[in-house]
Amino acid sequence: MSDPFVNAIARLVPEVPPHLVERPPDPALGDYALPCFALAKARRKAPPAIAAELAAELAPRLGEAQHQGAPLFTAVEAAGPYLNFRADAGQMARLTLPSILDGSYFQQNRAPAGGSRKVMVEYSQPNTHKAFHVGHMRNVALGDALARILAYNGQQVTAANYIGDVGTHIAKCLWFYQRHLGRLPKEKQTPQPGQDRGEWLGELYTAATLMLEDAPKEQREVYQKEVGQVLQQLESGQGEAHALWQETRAWSLESFQDIYRWLGARFDHWFYESEMEAGRRIVEEGLAKGVFIRSEGAVGADLEADGLGFLLVLKADGTTLYSTKDLALAEMKFDRFGMDESVYVVGAEQTLHFKQVFKVLEKLGYPQAGRSVHLAYGLVMLPEGKMSSRAGNVILFSALRERMNRFIVEHYLEAHRGDWRDEEIDETCRRIAVAAIRYGMVKQDPSKVIVFNLEDWLVAEGDTGVYLCYAYTRVQSIFRALGKFGRADADLTLLTHPTERALIRELHDFNRAAEAAARLMRPNLLAGTLFALAKAFSRAYAAVSVKNAETPALGEARLALFDAAGRVLKEGLELLGITPPERM
């Protein structure tokens, strides 16, 4: 992927590396800018003088920069220390729009500069027997978007899920289920009609946790012993608890499938904590290699020398830990799946854990350890603070979906009832809700805490997924009104209105932004670009008309432009996991 305009500037001014070429803050200044600071030393002059000198030098030679026999630039001038180039509007349109209309534009990033790599993106990682809430949505939105963006940029991506289907939390849930169900009000003792069974299990888990926390000390010890017995049964793979585990685990998995289906998230492979038995063997091998040591009856890696403390891999009672399973999982990814690179989309609170795991993998001799990345993201909070099951303010997936659906239908789609088929109303509603939630989760820098304000996200004006969808549907409405689509052979040189030029520029730069989002693993960069694109479209749409264009040829050119905008918008939204509706 390379920009012919940037390449041309690089040829005209070979002393300056092309990556320095930037976009001026105001299109009135030009389309490309070359800062001359880097030349100050070599030329022993002040940057403004160099810019002026270069402008004078290049002006007569500007015609040398050509594409298909026509000049790429129409002007070059100095503005302070900057050398600004004005691109030929027709050339930029011709270099951009036809390739979008024939689809080839979307293949341009396929051959990455660094070569194609096999990369696994692991995300979501829900625990069975626990409730899935808005906080978990951030992970899915981020991971799924990243997987799509990397694939768009030519990486061989395997999207993986890693289900937490073993451990104390499950023992707690089943312990409550078997012994204390009676503590709940009658109607809560079984899943309510229409209630998701996985979510009901989550309620049991929460009830169990609160019950344990609230019990007086002696009583709590009795309870904990009971939970321990359940855990024992689970690990032995026998007994009533084990059978119950199998049954209820399936409920949770069904529930997750339902969520992913609604969100449109896909996984190529599902890992389960329950299948990570290789951990114990890895610990043995690590002990033999001296990577692990025994300490206070337990086994772990002393990483003090690396400033990473101590990573415990085997408890004193000989049982394995989260870390042990992570080592087994990494081994699977590298050895069985042949991954070159591994990305873990996991909350920022586990930063130290992953640094430790990667360090241990390195010591165990995995070269891929250096290409393992923990994509850390911040918490999802509510305006009133953190979500907590004790406070009872956790927004569960089903409640979120329900509230969004109701709002969207009431405020926007009800008007179409009867006119549209019910299935279309439902599907449009789903797409808008998914757009709102996914865009909201992904538009922010991953490292920052997100304050989730349901009302704001639903009202959804301005920089939101709904706005982007709306822009897309407006393009579609042009097609409906005119009964035709854009043609690549339109006379694109007619697109001279400032809003048209600005939109062309956004379209031209989309691939560059997609590449940066992949390289930096920050889907929010793509979200920002899409918003700028939708904004540029909306401006142009308000300023110029296809139907009432001054000439038919201009109308055709605008149709091609808006068609291209719609296609890039759709492609970009897909990279964020959002499928816009055709009308809304």
Partner RNA sequence: GCGUCUGUAGCUCAGCUGGAUAGAGCGAUGGCCUUCGAAGCCAGCGGCCGCAGGUUCGAAUCCUGCCAGACGCACCA
Segment 59 to 88, residues that bind RNA, using CB under 7 A: 79-82, 84
Angle, alpha carbons 55-57-63 (nearest 5°): 90
Q: Among 15, 449, 484, 553, which residue interacts with RNA (rule: CB under 7 A)?
A: 449
| Number of other CB atoms surrounding residue 294 within 10 Å | 11
Nearer to RNA, 37 or 195 (CB): 37
Interaction between residue 528 and RNA (CB under 7 A): yes
CB of 230 to RNA, least distance (A): 14
Site string for RNA, 538-577 (x = CB under 7 A): xx-xxxxxxxx-----------------------------
Query: Edge-to-edge strands of the sheet including 32-35?
Result: 32-35, 82-87, 73-79
- Phi and psi dihedrals of 443, rounded to 5? -80, -15
CB of 349 to RNA, least distance (A): 3
- Phi and psi dihedrals of 310, rounded to 5? -130, 130
Q: Among 249, 474, 505, 508, which residue interacts with RNA (rule: CB under 7 A)?
A: 474
Of 89-97, 102-110, 239-247, 451-459, the segment contacting RNA by CB under 7 A is 451-459
Interaction between residue 386 and RNA (CB under 7 A): yes
Nearest to 209 by CA among 176, 247, 242: 176
The HSE-up count of residue 462 (CA atoms within 13 Å, CB side) is 7
Site string for RNA, 125-144 (x = CB under 7 A): --x-----------------
CB of 67 to RNA, least distance (A): 22
Kindly provide the b/e burial profile for residues 270-293, where b requires at least 16 CB atoms within 10 angstroms of the residue's own CB: ebbbbebebbbebbeebeeeebbe
CB of 461 to RNA, least distance (A): 4
Of 173-181, 255-263, 280-288, 410-418, the segment contacting RNA by CB under 7 A is 410-418
According to DSSP, the β-strands at 293-295 and 269-272 are unpaired
Under 8 Å between Cβ of 180 and 227: no
Interaction between residue 459 and RNA (CB under 7 A): yes
Nearest to 539 by CA among 499, 566, 510, 581: 499
Q: Among 95, 121, 207, 321, which residue interacts with RNA (rule: CB under 7 A)?
A: 321
**Exposed, middle or buried by CB within 10 Å (0-12, 13-18, 19+), for 453?**
middle
Nearer to RNA, 446 or 577 (CB): 446
Q: Which of residues 87-126 bind RNA (CB under 7 A)?
A: none
Q: Which of residues 339-378 bind RNA (CB under 7 A)?
A: 348-353, 378
Q: Which of residues 210-239 bind RNA (CB under 7 A)?
A: none
Interaction between residue 391 and RNA (CB under 7 A): no
Longest dimension (CA), the chain: 91
CB of 119 to RNA, least distance (A): 19
Q: Residues 345, 346, 349, 354: is their CA dihedral positive or negative?
A: negative
**Exposed, middle or buried by CB within 10 Å (0-12, 13-18, 19+), for 262?**
middle
CB of 188 to RNA, least distance (A): 25
**Which residues are within 8 A (CB) of 464 and not within 5 positions of it... i.e. 6 or more apart?**
435, 436, 439, 440, 457
Q: Which of residues 10-49 bind RNA (CB under 7 A)?
A: 22-26, 29-30, 33, 35, 37-38, 40, 47
Of 53-61, 104-112, 194-202, 405-413, the segment contacting RNA by CB under 7 A is 405-413
Interaction between residue 510 and RNA (CB under 7 A): no
**Which residues are within 8 A (CB) of 18 and not within 5 positions of it... i.e. 6 or more apart?**
6, 7, 9, 10
Nearer to RNA, 118 or 416 (CB): 416
**Amino acid making up residue 484:** K
The HSE-up count of residue 578 (CA atoms within 13 Å, CB side) is 36
What whole-number distance in Å separates Cα of residue 199 and Cα of residue 194? 11
Q: Which of residues 249-278 bind RNA (CB under 7 A)?
A: 273
Interaction between residue 579 and RNA (CB under 7 A): no
Nearer to RNA, 191 or 528 (CB): 528
Q: Among 169, 179, 242, 269, which residue interacts with RNA (rule: CB under 7 A)?
A: 169
Nearer to RNA, 70 or 113 (CB): 113
Nearest to 92 by CA among 495, 497, 552, 537: 495
Nearest to 234 by CA among 222, 247, 253, 220: 247
Kindly provide the b/e burial profile for residues 508-547, where b requires at least 16 CB atoms within 10 angstroms of the residue's own CB: bbbbbbbbebbeebbbbbbbbbbbbbbbbbbebbeebebe
Of 10-18, 101-109, 139-147, 532-540, the segment contacting RNA by CB under 7 A is 532-540
Residues near RNA (CB under 7 A), total? 99
CB of 378 to RNA, least distance (A): 7
Nearer to RNA, 184 or 253 (CB): 253
CB of 582 to RNA, least distance (A): 8
Interaction between residue 490 and RNA (CB under 7 A): no
Q: Among 70, 391, 481, 553, which residue interacts with RNA (rule: CB under 7 A)?
A: 481
Interaction between residue 54 and RNA (CB under 7 A): no
CA 545 to each of CA 31, 135, 140: distance values in angstroms, whole numbers, following the listed order: 25, 43, 39
Q: Among 178, 232, 238, 295, which residue interacts with RNA (rule: CB under 7 A)?
A: 295
